[in-house]
């Protein structure tokens, strides 16, 4: 499966040895080890992208990243419809994925599943 791992939080590095960086790098490594075609789209690209277990695309300055940041800034329970709108507009259904840290309601979950996402 092709997976886009988007990390819109500038405070979370993709590669690191503390806190959320460990979580991100562990998730990335586990998915790659399982043979997934993974690309990471971080708000804060690593100084050395070769340290990542998969390709890293720098979203710095990309308008999509700014939109994702605005959504993340909202409480995730309140961003369900906006999240679905962005996923549809960006044709995220073409790559599928996992809605990690999902906190929305059942309706939003059904719509995300209909777009090809796992919850």
This prediction's pTM: 0.55
pLDDT tens digits for 15-68? 778 888 888 888 888 888 999 888 888 877 777 767 777 888 877 777 876 776
pLDDT value, residue 84: 84
Q: Following DSSP, what letter does each residue of 65-83 receive, concatenated?
A: HHHHHHHHHS-GGG-HHHH
Assign 74 a pLDDT band (cuts: 50, 70, 90). low
Residue labelled with tokens 């044709």: 91
Question: In the numeric block, which tokens belong to residue 100?
Answer: 């990690």
Is the pLDDT score of 95 beyond 80? no
Helix (H) or strand (E) segment spanning residue 117: strand 117-118
Please state the three-class secondary structure of 25-41 as a single string.
HHHHHHHHHCCCEEEEE
Distances (CA, A) of 31 to 39, 92, 96: 10, 18, 14
């Amino acid at each position: 499966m092709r997976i886009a791992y988007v990390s819109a939080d500038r405070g979370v590095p993709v590669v690191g040895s503390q806190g959320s960086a460990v979580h991100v790098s562990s998730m990335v490594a586990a998915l790659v080890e399982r043979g997934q075609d993974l690309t990471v789209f971080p708000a804060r690209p690593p100084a050395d992208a070769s340290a990542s277990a998969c390709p890293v695309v720098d979203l710095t300055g990309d308008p999509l990243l700014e939109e994702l940041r605005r959504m993340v800034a909202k409480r995730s329970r309140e961003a369900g419809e906006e999240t679905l709108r962005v996923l549809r507009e960006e044709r995220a259904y073409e790559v599928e994925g996992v809605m990690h840290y999902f906190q929305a309601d059942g309706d939003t979950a059904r719509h995300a599943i209909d777009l090809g996402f796992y919850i």
